[in-house]
């Protein structure tokens, strides 16, 4: 069984609110790095980048975080898309859904190989099932689900974006 949680308009409003929160928290910065986990987090990061460019003078650097979920703990399980130097930069790690926090923990480990100025997390949906000490700083929707339920986020199809809860 599928239940629609957010429709296109609601998603747009949530993403816009997250973008404003990011700008408010970083208004004194010259640039912000949006590091989106591929694929869902990167799609969200792209949408945040578009809005931030409209509402703020911030220089936005967008990078993809490639994650091999089967090899998270191994060397190379998480890779930054570009040879980017994050030293001294403000980084927002972006994902579509925060579930256990495991993947974001490994992504943070990769990012923290650089002496970043700050590292924050933005997610569209927080499921409240973290088993790792991860909490999002910017959250579109916080929803309690059972462990058997799944959240499916579609941000690819323009005009048909959706967040669906699947049993």
Whether pTM > 0.85 for this model: the answer is yes
Closest Cα to residue 98, out of 61, 161, 140? 140
Structural domain for 44, as ranges = 2-166
Q: In what order do the strands lie in the sheet with 2-6?
A: 2-6, 162-166, 150-154
What CATH code is carried by the domain that includes residue 58?
3.40.50.2020
Q: What is the pLDDT of residues 134-165, one digit of tens each?
A: 999 999 999 988 777 888 898 877 778 888 88
Q: What is the pLDDT of residues 96-117, one digit of tens each?
A: 999 888 899 999 999 999 999 9
d(CA 7, CA 4): 7
Q: How many domains does the chain have?
A: 1
Neighbours of 59 (CB within 10 A): 12
Instruction: Identify the pLDDT of residue 90.
Output: 98
């Amino acid at each position: 069984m599928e239940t629609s949680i957010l429709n296109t308009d609601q998603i747009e409003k949530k993403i816009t609110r997250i973008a404003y929160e990011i700008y408010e928290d970083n208004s004194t910065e010259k640039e912000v790095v949006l590091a989106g986990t591929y694929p869902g987090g990167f799609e969200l990061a792209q949408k945040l980048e578009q809005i931030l460019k409209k509402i703020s003078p911030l220089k936005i650097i967008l990078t993809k975080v490639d994650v091999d979920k089967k090899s998270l703990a191994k060397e190379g399980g998480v890779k930054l898309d570009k040879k980017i130097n994050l030293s001294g930069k403000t980084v927002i790690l972006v994902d579509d859904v925060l579930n256990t926090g495991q993947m974001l923990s490994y992504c943070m480990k990769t990012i923290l190989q650089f002496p970043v100025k700050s590292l924050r997390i933005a997610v569209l949906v927080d499921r409240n099932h973290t088993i790792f000490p991860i909490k999002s700083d910017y959250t579109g929707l916080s929803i309690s689900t059972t462990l058997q339920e799944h959240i499916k986020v579609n941000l690819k199809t323009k005009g048909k974006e959706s967040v669906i809860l699947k049993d």
